[in-house]
Structure 1
Amino acid sequence: MANSQKQKRHCVVINWGLVAYQDAWLRQKSLVTERISNPDLEDILILSEHFPVYTLGTGASTDFLKFDYDESTSAKSDLKREVYRVERGGEVTYHCPGQLVGYPILNLRYYQQDLHWYLRQLEEVIIRTVATYGLNAERISGLTGVWLEGKKIAAIGIKVRRWITMHGFALNVCPDLTGFQDIVPCGIIDKPVGSLNEFIPNLTVAEVRVKLIRSFAEVFNVELENKVD
C-alpha cells in the first residue's frame, strides 16, 4: 500500500486538456511553490496533452537531438521545432496530441520519502492501466519507463523540491510517432518507441484517462476528486 496512513489522502484530479507545454510548466511551478509554502495543501494529479514539443532534462545531452539547436539563444521562433530544457531528470523526449501526460503534484512526506520508490509507483500506474486491456507492459532493469513487447510506450521524468513532486509521465496512446524520429528518445539507442493503439486500434486518450485515474488511486491509495480547471 503506497500511502501508509489509515485514512486515504485527498487528491484532486484536473484535466487541462490540450495545452501548450510552456503554460503547463509554469502552472506546475506555481502549484509546487504554493505547496512548499503550505505543505498542508491537497495533492493534485494533472492530466493533459501537449502541442508538439521537445523537452530536455536538466542534464540531458543535445547530442540526442537529430536537428540543429543552439541552446545559447532564446530565439526559439527561429526553430521549426519548439524545445525546452526543464528541471526534470532524464534525457530528451517528445510530446504531442494523442499522448496522455500526467503531472502528479504530491507531498511525498505523506507517502514515502524515496525517489526510486516514487518512480516505480508511476511505472506501476502505467502497467496497471495497460493491464486493463489484457496487455502485459513491463519494466526493464536499470531503465526508467514502461515497455510493451519491446517498445517504450511511457516515459517518466520527475523533479522533487522539498518532497513536493512535479513533472511526471507521458503515455503514448494514439500519437503521431514521427516526431520521435528527430531525437534519440530518452537517450536509448536500441529500443523503439511505440503506442497503445498499435496493439488496440481506435483507442482514445479520453478512454485511457479514465482507466489511468483509477489505477493511480489504487497505486497511491488516495481518494480522488475530479475538479474543473
Structure 2
Amino acid sequence: MRQADLLQLGLVSITDALAQQWQRQQQLLLRPNGREAVLLMQHSPCYTMGRGSSATHLRRGVQGLSHPLHHVDRGGEVTHHCPGQLVLWPVLNLQHHTPDLHWYLRSLEAVVLTVLAALGLPGERQPDLTGVWCGGRKVAAVGIGCRRWMTRHGLALNVSCSLQGFDAIVPCGLRDHAVGRLLDWRPGLTCAHVEPLLLAAVARQFNLELLPCPAVG
C-alpha cells in the first residue's frame, strides 16, 4: 500500500483547482518516487473542453453559455461542472501501479461502479465509450491527461447537481446519451453522503492510504 496526500478542496474554481493539480504533478515529475495525491472537490459553475474537442458541441455557441468556458489539458469533449458534482483528480505515478492508460481509464470507471454498488444502484459501462451510466443515463464522465506516466484530471460524478447547465452543450460529444444524477434514484442523497464512498473506492482501487493534507496557496 502506498501513501498518498488527500486534498479535499471543497467548492473551488476550476482555475484554483488546476493550479493545485499542476503543483502536485510537477512535484511527481521532479521526484517520481515522491508522494502521490488525490484531489477531491466541487467546481464553481463552468464548462471545460478537452484536447481536440469541437465547438460544434456548444449548442448555442460560446455566447450562449451562462458560465465560463475553459480549455483544459485532458482527453474528452465538452462537459459541465457545478456544485453537487464530485470531481476526483488522482495525481499518480502509473509506474507504481500499471503503466497503461487504457487500464487507468477502466480503473477510474471501476471506482464509480464501486460507489454505485455501495448505494445499491446498477452502474453500467457502454461499449467503446468512457464513463459510467445508470438507468440509461450518464452519471460520470472520465477524462485524463498524463505526462511521463504522471496523471492529471480524472472523473466527475453527478450526485445532486442541477442538470440544467448540460442543456447548452452536447455532453462528452454524445448526442444520443442523456445525463443523469444519483439523486434521481436516491432522493435526499448529497455529496456529503457520497464523498466517503468515493474516497474508499479510489483508495481500494489503487491500493492507497489517503492522508489528509492542506491545500497550498
TM-score by length of 2: 0.96
8 Å CA contact 2:21, 2:152 repeated in 1? yes
Q: What residue is the counterpart of 2:116 in the other structure?
A: 130
8 Å CA contact 2:112, 2:140 repeated in 1? yes
Once the 2 structures are TM-superposed, how far is the Cα of residue 80 of structure 1 from its aligned partner?
4.1
Q: What residue is the counterpart of 2:213 in the other structure?
A: 227
The one-letter amino acid of 2:78's match is V
The one-letter amino acid of 2:180's match is G
8 Å CA contact 2:7, 2:212 repeated in 1? yes
Q: Distance in 2 between matches of 1:206 and 1:164?
A: 29
Q: Distance in 2 between matches of 1:141 and 1:131?
A: 20
Q: What residue is the counterpart of 1:73 in the other structure?
A: none
8 Å CA contact 2:3, 2:210 repeated in 1? yes
Q: Distance in 1 between matches of 2:107 and 2:73?
A: 20
The one-letter amino acid of 1:11's match is A
Q: What residue is the counterpart of 1:26 in the other structure?
A: 19
Once the 2 structures are TM-superposed, how far is the Cα of residue 200 of structure 1 from its aligned partner?
0.2
Moved more, 31-40 or 144-153: 31-40
Once the 2 structures are TM-superposed, how far is the Cα of residue 227 of structure 1 from its aligned partner?
2.6
Matches within 5 A, 1:13-92: 13-69=6-62, 80-92=66-78
Q: Which has the larger radius of gyration?
A: 1
Q: Distance in 1 between matches of 2:182 and 2:66?
A: 28
Q: Distance in 2 between matches of 1:193 and 1:137?
A: 14
Q: Distance in 1 between matches of 2:2 and 2:149?
A: 16
Secondary structure of the residue that 1:81 maps to in structure 2?
coil
Q: What residue is the counterpart of 1:204 in the other structure?
A: 190
Q: Distance in 1 between matches of 2:66 and 2:173?
A: 22
- C-alpha deviations, 1:35-90, integer Å up to 9, x for none? 111112111110000111000001100100012228xxxxxxx9742001111000
8 Å CA contact 2:65, 2:168 repeated in 1? no
Q: What residue is the counterpart of 1:5 in the other structure?
A: none
Once the 2 structures are TM-superposed, how far is the Cα of residue 228 of structure 1 from its aligned partner?
3.5
The one-letter amino acid of 2:200's match is R
Moved more, 144-153 or 23-32: 23-32
Q: Distance in 2 between matches of 1:67 and 1:54?
A: 13
Q: Give unmatched runs, 5+ long, in structure 2.
A: none
4+ residue runs of structure 1 moved beyond 6 angstroms? none
Q: Distance in 2 between matches of 1:45 and 1:140?
A: 26
Residue 150 of structure 1 is aligned with which of 136, 143, 168? 136
The one-letter amino acid of 1:212's match is L
Q: What residue is the counterpart of 1:106 in the other structure?
A: 92
Q: What residue is the counterpart of 2:199 in the other structure?
A: 213
Once the 2 structures are TM-superposed, how far is the Cα of residue 135 of structure 1 from its aligned partner?
1.0
8 Å CA contact 2:55, 2:61 repeated in 1? no
Q: How many residue pairs end up in the alignment?
A: 215
Q: Distance in 2 between matches of 1:196 and 1:69?
A: 29
Secondary structure of the residue that 1:112 maps to in structure 2?
coil
Q: Give unmatched runs, 5+ long, in structure 1.
A: 1-7, 71-77
Residue 156 of structure 2 is aligned with which of 170, 175, 193? 170
The one-letter amino acid of 1:145's match is G
The one-letter amino acid of 2:36's match is D
